[in-house]
Structure 1
Amino acid sequence: MITLYSYPSLFGVADNNGYGLKVFAFLRLVGLPFVHEHLFDASSAPRGQLPYIVDDGETIGDSETILAHLIRKYGLTIDAALGARERNLSLLVTRLLDDLYWVMSYSRWKDERFWPTFRAALMREHPSLTDEGLTKAREFNFQRYYFQGVGRYAPDAVYTRGLADLAVLADLIPDGGFIHGDKPSSIDAGIYGFIANIHFYDIDTPLKQFIASRPNLVHHCETLHETVMRAPSDDAKR
């Protein structure tokens, strides 16, 4: 049995971190049974980062490494039809999402306009959290943003970067479809992980406003959300 360890849910999304939600969505799309365990403390995780999985006693961290492990071990065909060009595009989008992560995270923890709403949602949905714990987490994130670089910019400059990422995604995703055609591939799980963590949040950031203005992004996100949030069925395909 596979156990996924990732951050808790928020605003009806199964994981409030894009990487954990990516793995969750992938597991649901390919129909692998798994147990989902939620954590706030990542100190015991591989490299101190969530998500990670434990699969038959083997611990694997990093979302891309997890997906590669699952595809190899279980013979999954979700990306089997992709050629070299499609795989290269998927890698580029994955790196773009790595960039978007920092802007999305900044909008929650750093931007004083949106931090109170994010904090209130966390406290409401997860009463075990404390003011002291959230303050420490926020200070830790401030350090991360500074050393990564995004924390050294004014908010408008930060959002300019994130909006450029979203504009590329909006141009790549076809109306009513997925990145590589009519069926989702693993990169669509990755895109969903981040877009859902913006679109479904009751926090009106510039990122959320942009997504709302692009029907294809909304359709992609809501279609995958409906699919992955359904209870697993016996006829799920690998």
Structure 2
Amino acid sequence: MITLITFAPAFGQISASPFCVKAAWMLNMSGLQWQREDSMDPRKMPKQKLPVIRVGQTLVQDSDNIRAYLEQQGADFDAGLNDMEKATSRAFIRMAEEHLYFHCVLQRWGEDTVWPTIRDTYFTAIPSVLRGFVTNKLRRACLQGMDRQGLGRLTPQERMQRIEPDLQAITTRLWHGRFLFGGQPTAADASVAPMLAGMRATPGTTLLKTRIAEDEILCRYIDRTEDALSVPRTTAASVSLCA
């Protein structure tokens, strides 16, 4: 049995992390049986990140490595795609995970009106009397990293100008079908849709959340993908299941 170690559900999503959502969706797409184990402390993992899958005594870390493992077990996340479509899919995945994701991070960690809810959702294990002190240090470190990455140096309005061409590219792909590459979800959908869903689900009101929530094409795409991929393939009494 494969066990997905993941952040707990939050904000109406099956996990607080888009990468954990991606891993759960790929597990469902693979057709393999699996169960989930929620954790709010990634420090217990060798790379101190989630998602991770556990197979026997082996830990497979990072959603890309999880995909590779599932493909070794026979999963085909790009069935029916030609070489050109597979190349474009790879570019969309990288756009989602190396650009869209950081906009989501800044929306959650950088917006003063959003941060208190994020703090109290992500760090419930820290006693409330210590939570502000501990998490303020974590927040500063995160935002310093975003400053080095570059997006953290932009105003919210400038970030919206930066992300808009990406959102337009996604919309353009959706002219060709219900999903990014036709009538069935592929690997690109498992990466792109969780990022958009995470932006839309972020608590409070931000420019980015409003942009996604008011876009009918993107919202319908998020909902279709969630409906198609958030289907559990196994049950287990001792763990919570994907929604």
Q: Secondary structure at the match of 1:112?
A: coil
Q: Contact 1:25–1:193 (CA<8 Å) still a contact in 2?
A: no
Cα 1:213–1:9 shift into 2, 3 Å: same
In the alignment, which residue of structure 2 is the partner of 1:212?
213
Runs (4+) of structure 1 moved beyond 6 Å? none
The aligned residue for residue 110 of structure 2 is 110
**How far apart are the structure 1 equivalents of 2:182 and 2:69?**
24
| Paired letter, 1:168 | A
CA distance in 2: counterparts of 1:102 and 1:163, whole angstroms? 14
3-state SS, counterpart of residue 47 of structure 2: helix
Question: Does structure 2 retain, via aligned residues, the 8 Å contact 1:46–1:52?
Answer: no
2:114–2:203 CA contact under 8 A, matched in 1: no
Which residue of 2 is the match for residue 86 of structure 1? 85
- Name the residue aligned to 1:76: 75
Q: For residues 40 and 138 of structure 2, what CA distance do their matches in structure 1 show? A: 10
Question: Aligned AA for 1:48?
Answer: Q
Shift of 1:175: 7.1
Helix, strand or coil at the partner of 2:41: coil
**TM-score normalised per structure 1:** 0.85
**Maintained 8 Å contact 1:176/1:216:** no
Distance (Å, rounded) in 2 between the aligned partners of 1:81 and 1:119: 42
C-alpha contact 2:35 2:234 (8 A) present in aligned 1: no
Greater CA drift, 43-52 or 213-222: 43-52
Structure 2 stretches lacking a partner, 5+ long: 236-243
**Equivalent position SS for 1:13:** coil
TM-score (norm 2): 0.84
The alpha carbon displacement at 1:143 in A equals 2.4
The alignment covers a number of residue pairs equal to 230
What residue in structure 2 maps to residue 226 of structure 1? 227
Superposed CA RMSD in Å reads 2.3
Contact conserved, 2:4 with 2:37, CA < 8 A, in 1?
A: yes
Change (3 A) 1:28 1:203: farther
Paired residue secondary structure (1:48): coil
For 2:81 and 2:147, locate their aligned partners in 1 and report how far apart those are by CA, in whole Å.
38
* Structure 1, unaligned runs of 5 or more: none
